[in-house]
Amino acid sequence: MLILTCPYCGVKAEETELSPGGEAHLKRIGPDGTAADFEAYLFARKNIKGVHFERWRHAYGCGKWFLAARDTHTMQVYGTYKAQTAHATDEIVANARQARPEWVPDWPQASEAVVG
Amino acid sequence: MPSRRYSVFAIAREALRQHRGWTRAWTSPEPRDRYKVVIVGAGGHGLATAYYLGKNHGITDVAVIEKGWLGGGNTGRNTTIIRSNYLQDPSAAIYDKALKLYETLSQDLNYNVMFSPRGLIMLAQTEHEVRGYRRTVHANALQGVATEWIEPARVKDLVPIINIDGPRYPVLGGLYQARGGTARHDAVAWGYARACSDMGMHVIQNCEVTGVETAGGQVRAVNTAKGRIGCDKLALVVAGHSSQLAEMAGFRLPIESVPLQAMVSEPVKPCMDVVVMANTVHGYMSQSDKGEMVIGGGTDSHNAFTQRGSWHHVEETVRALVETFPMISRLKMLRQWGGIVDMTGDRSPILSATPVGGVFVNCGWGTGGFKAIPGSGWAMAELVAQGRPGPLAAAFGLNRFREGRFIDESVAAGVAH
């Protein structure tokens, strides 16, 4: 039984209380995007076996959308965070890396951003 | 060395010498450095692809490589249902081709796959389903696939243990395909493996693929647990792990992997000689030759690779089936398991060339691949041998997503298969 903590209302919700919304952080393609970009946005999915970021809605609770980091192979939950976030929090990244040292986030890290 | 033909005479001969003359059905060779075609995935679809490459196209320089054991993925985890009552024309064509090949598969392979065309009913338990299935019956009539709409009394006649009165899930009728049924899933994989081995192909187990080597947009080799294996053409036929293999080759697929569950009861005396599917309640049931009630359940809503699935789906499935089949309320369940199914947005498969030259994919069969194995192998072999799809695979290309030519089977295939 999958249990996620809603970052808005703090309720520990089991999966029948939630509805899934698929892969998180998809970038919407604007008017100047190509057909290939739009196809990728609509259909191509990472379908990660490992650390997966995904959208959930606390459907039978507060009703809000939030994001979760979950391991699709071990079912370990690394954490949940609010939907209005560009990427997962440092704490979630640390949790994921503890379980999977070989995993690296696919967005620029704070330290790299400072250097760059 | 080709294996000996199985026959009643072979059994008699072996009976006279204490069964000491049986040989292994297929060989377990070490891989060579190079093959003309490498197929990743020795499940039903991969082995069938290899078989028809040899039989229909004369290509026998083929290796089928498998990370686990033969037929140990979804081929050994499904509920063995075979039917072809789909709504769209391309689906009806490929699934009915598969059903026709199943009808003579034991003879073709000289291996008893225990195909049992016992008939199949898809129950309509809501007004919406009544309309949907009537529409499917009409579509099937135009496609030349024999199905019929049957009234509740006929359902009761075919399935005496059913409760058609509800109240929660009354049976309002059913979509009946008399040619549908079941087959022994392991035997399908074993029969194809034996036939491939006899043609000189290599079936290599315990050999996980770790990378795909390309040069100039063309496939060169696969790196595996047993070393580098060169190839001219590569076919990825790995169901739930299609996205992982595609990533190794450098492209993405419109696929998401979710667990689909099934369970099986203790064996009981024969009580139901048709396959019954109840899609509204996410449950389907048939009785195996051993007497077990084989029950298929629902898919998880979220991506996972766990091969077990969420507990509440078991409850959901059993709760509904107990009302429809009151006698199963006293049965103990022996086993419950999950398989990782590869879902596409339109619930139809992908048989396609890919952005990488020489790489072909056969995936996206989702919750219902077993029934399609021979047809899928037939169409995939044609695609791999000729480099372009034949009539069966033409509509199932990857480009259908960009072009909006979906083959929408979410009604026929949304849950149960």
Complex ipTM: 0.90
From A2, A45, A75, residue closest to B255, measured CB to CB: A45
pLDDT at A115 over 80: no
Residues of A in contact with B254 (CB under 8 A): 43-45
Span B329-341, pLDDT tens digits: 999 999 999 999 9
Q: Which two tokens stand for residue B42?
A: 């020795």
Contact A62/A56 with Cβ under 8 angstroms? no
**What Rg, from alpha-carbon coordinates, does chain A have?**
15
Handedness of CA B246, B351, B85, B88 (dihedral sign): positive
Q: What end-to-end distance do the CA atoms of chain A give, in Å? A: 43
pLDDT mean over B149-171: 94
User: Is domain B31-81+87-96+185-254+346-413 given the CATH code 3.40.50.300 in the classification?
Assistant: no
Give the whole-angstrom CA distance, residue B171 versus residue B127: 10
According to the model, what pLDDT value does residue B416 have? 45
Assign residue B19 a region (left: φ > 0; alpha: ψ between -120 and 50; beta: otherwise).
left
Give the whole-angstrom CA distance, residue A79 versus residue A36: 33
According to the model, what pLDDT value does residue B271 have? 96
* B240 Cβ contact partners less than 8 Å away, ≥ 6 residues apart: B73, B74, B257, B305, B339, B340, B341, B342
Q: Do B256 and A47 touch (CB under 8 A)?
A: yes
Span B259-288, pLDDT tens digits: 999 999 999 999 999 999 988 877 899 999
Q: How far is A74 from chain B (nearest CA, A)?
A: 7
B322 burial class (0-12, 13-18, 19+ CB within 10 angstroms)?
A: middle
Beta-carbon count within 10 A of B391 CB: 12
According to the model, what pLDDT value does residue B411 have? 57
Contact A39/B401 with Cβ under 8 angstroms? yes
Angle at B119 between CA B114 and CA B145, to 5 degrees: 105
According to the model, what pLDDT value does residue B4 have? 82
According to the model, what pLDDT value does residue B414 have? 44
Question: Is residue B301 very low, low, confident or very high in pLDDT (cuts 50, 70, 90)?
Answer: confident
Q: Do B254 and A36 touch (CB under 8 A)?
A: no
Q: Does B40 touch chain A (CB under 8 A)?
A: no
pLDDT at B413 over 80: no
Residues of A in contact with B310 (CB under 8 A): 1-2, 15
User: Is domain A3-26+43-115 given the CATH code 3.30.2270.10 in the classification?
Assistant: yes
**3-class SS of residue B255:** coil
Helix axes of B373-386 and B44-57: crossing angle, nearest 10 degrees: 50
Q: Which of A47, A48, A57, A72 to mutate to test the interface with B (most CBs of B within 10 A)?
A: A47
Mean pLDDT of chain B: 94
* B184 Cβ contact partners less than 8 Å away, ≥ 6 residues apart: B80, B112, B113, B114, B289
Angle at B270 between CA B264 and CA B271, to 5 degrees: 85
Assign residue B174 a region (left: φ > 0; alpha: ψ between -120 and 50; beta: otherwise).
beta
From B253, B306, B311, residue closest to A1, measured CB to CB: B311
According to the model, what pLDDT value does residue A111 have? 53
According to the model, what pLDDT value does residue A23 have? 95
pLDDT mean over B311-324: 88
Considering only alpha carbons, which residue of chain A is nearest residue B246? A46
Contact B303/B215 with Cβ under 8 angstroms? no
pLDDT at A9 over 50: yes
Residues of A in contact with B402 (CB under 8 A): 35-36, 39
CATH of B117-179+256-343, one of 3.30.43.10, 3.30.9.10, 3.30.950.10, 3.40.50.12780: 3.30.9.10
Q: What end-to-end distance do the CA atoms of chain B give, in Å? A: 38
* B54 Cβ contact partners less than 8 Å away, ≥ 6 residues apart: B60, B62, B196, B199, B201
Q: Do A43 and B244 touch (CB under 8 A)?
A: no
* B7 Cβ contact partners less than 8 Å away, ≥ 6 residues apart: none
Assign residue B67 a region (left: φ > 0; alpha: ψ between -120 and 50; beta: otherwise).
alpha
Residue A97, φ and ψ in degrees, nearest 5 = -70, -25
Number of Cβ pairs < 8 A linking chain A and chain B: 62
Considering only alpha carbons, which residue of chain B is nearest residue A71? B304
Q: Which residues of A touch B (CB under 8 A)?
A: 1-2, 15-16, 19-20, 22, 35-36, 39-40, 42-49, 52, 54, 70, 72-73, 75
Q: Domain spans of chain B? A: 31-81+87-96+185-254+346-413, 117-179+256-343
Share above pLDDT 70 across residues of chain B, in percent, rounded to a whole number: 98
Span B74-116, pLDDT tens digits: 999 999 999 999 999 999 999 999 999 999 999 999 999 999 9
Give the whole-angstrom CA distance, residue B40 versus residue B233: 11
Give the whole-angstrom CA distance, residue B10 versus residue B16: 10
Considering only alpha carbons, which residue of chain A is nearest residue B251? A44
Question: Is residue B319 very low, low, confident or very high in pLDDT (cuts 50, 70, 90)?
Answer: confident
pLDDT at B1 over 80: no
According to the model, what pLDDT value does residue A114 have? 43
According to the model, what pLDDT value does residue B2 have? 64
pLDDT mean over B402-411: 86
From B255, B301, B310, residue closest to A47, measured CB to CB: B255
Give the whole-angstrom CA distance, residue A65 versus residue B293: 40
Amino acid symbol at B78:
N
According to the model, what pLDDT value does residue A110 have? 62
Handedness of CA A8, A14, A20, A24 (dihedral sign): positive
Q: Which string of b and e fits B253-283 if b means at least 16 CB within 10 Å?
A: bbbbbbbbbbbbbeebeeebebbbbbbbbbb
According to the model, what pLDDT value does residue B17 have? 93
Considering only alpha carbons, which residue of chain B is nearest residue A51? B304
Q: Which of B244, B248, B257, B303 to mutate to test the interface with A (most CBs of A within 10 A)?
A: B303
Q: Do B254 and A16 touch (CB under 8 A)?
A: no
According to the model, what pLDDT value does residue B87 have? 93
Contact B151/B104 with Cβ under 8 angstroms? no
Q: Do B253 and A73 touch (CB under 8 A)?
A: no
Span B45-65, pLDDT tens digits: 999 999 999 999 999 999 999
